Structure 1
């Protein structure tokens, strides 16, 4: 499979906090198989070591070291931003392929949103490609920027709660890059994912809600999500990717997926 997909456009994959590239490869195996003829998945470890993240144990006990994209002990945000930028740009340069999309889970989804936001504000980190689309799975908020020009604290908050923020995103913070945002109704961090959706233009983003926890559909031990949920995510990814391609190059159904009151999907 590795040999046969060298020519394919790349999808940069960012794991959640307290996991690793190896673990994320396992977690996304269904997506990889379904999209094996469309993308080459490129995984990367975050630059900061940490303990195991939510849901990692006991399934991935002994699979340390674990990594994250944020350094909780840091006193210098700019230095941390630089480390993440340098790491990602090196991975992209060393691969040598065409990176068209970025996919992240949990904390990695927050970084995914930040990469898209930086690009939209023309503050893209050096070495970053022009992202065509983004995919955020069980994401957190707000977007994690890698730009010195857009630090997380530059806009005043209107009070905080247990999630650290209550204000709505300003108009100039809305992201228009085609995106897919997935969250679970049983996810204890689901409120963070709901707030992340607010940073995206509803005309260009597909927000999807499934009956699941803080994991992808069909994860080990999952008895709640439907077997077809993975395919629904795959279809949404193909749609946002197709939005920037000529119709002849990739024919994808032009459907809009919306959530209803019950958290189910309707076209």
Structure 2
């Protein structure tokens, strides 16, 4: 049996674990010596996403993690959270691997959920350091592919907080970015954000990063593509290398003096967002100015 560290992979809305595994096959191959991927199905049946039908129409049924169509049945938030946690625990318990559970990987609706779970774990530990993690795990990192904000509320403690949305709330048709809110809770678990520059929801994906992720603990890879999983070798290689960097992140000491070029997270310790676009590294300052370094 495999003792590799395990990552739990969460599909988008109107997809399935089987389809998501097929879409991620190039990443699975590239990371085969690093992680054992495990794919979970959402708790509720869903129609297949329209973008998948030309290729995957024979690979139903499909599932969802939250409501995304007007006709999806209303849910009670507390029971919805329990069903999601049960779905994750089921997938984890059925896996034959023996390695530690270390990371969450998600695309679209699954990416938003992965981010939300990481943030929920952080809030739990802030309230009580002995609190168990969501699905029994305190996840060490996340890969957030085309996930839009704001995060889902994953407990009663955040249900009335306007920085979170309900699992039963339909996606908004908003196209403009929100103004940065200095009082919003920032995720400090290391995350890699993957954004397609041709994705119609790009600004919403950038909102999640800018509004809810600590710049000292997050990394961004941009690629030339729409709302789908990258498959070109140049994109896959850049993203898998970034996944390794995020997974190996070590928070530097408070008085640590970063050395430019030594490592991507040495730069992040300055409080900047590191952007990896077209095989170039850059640092983004608080005002949005970007300086290429390599």
Give the structure 2 partner of residue 22 of structure 1: 18
Distance, in Å, in 2 between the alignment partners of 1:150 and 1:161 is 19
| Other structure's SS at 1:149 match | helix
- 8 Å CA contact retained: 1:258, 1:266: no
Distance, in Å, in 2 between the alignment partners of 1:88 and 1:186 is 31
- 8 Å CA contact retained: 2:194, 2:221: yes
Give the structure 2 partner of residue 49 of structure 1: 45
Deviations 1:216-260 (A, max 9, x none): 222xxxxxxx63111111111101111149xxxxxxx82368448
Q: Is 2:242 the counterpart of 1:236? A: yes
Give the structure 1 partner of residue 123 of structure 2: 121
Compare the two structures and name the one with the higher helix fraction: 2
Distance, in Å, in 2 between the alignment partners of 1:18 and 1:181 is 21
Deviations 1:167-195 (A, max 9, x none): 64554510011110001111112222111
Give the structure 2 partner of residue 163 of structure 1: 174
Q: Is 2:114 the counterpart of 1:112? A: yes
Q: How does 1:83-162 map to 2 (within 5 A)?
A: 83-95=83-95, 97-122=99-124, 126-151=134-159, 153-155=160-162, 162=173
Tell me how far 1:80 sits from its aligned partner: 0.8
- 8 Å CA contact retained: 1:208, 1:265: no
Give the structure 2 partner of residue 82 of structure 1: 82
Unaligned runs of 5+ in 2: 126-131, 165-170, 252-261, 266-272, 282-294
1:211 aligned residue (224, 229, 232): 224
Tell me how far 1:146 sits from its aligned partner: 2.3
**Total equivalences in the alignment:** 244
Give the structure 1 partner of residue 197 of structure 2: 185
Give the structure 1 partner of residue 290 of structure 2: none
Tell me how far 1:59 sits from its aligned partner: 0.9
The alignment yields a C-alpha RMSD, in angstroms, of 2.6
Please tell me whether Structure 1 or Structure 2 has the larger radius of gyration of its CA atoms.
2
- 8 Å CA contact retained: 1:259, 1:265: no
Mean Cα deviation higher: 60-69 or 140-149: 140-149
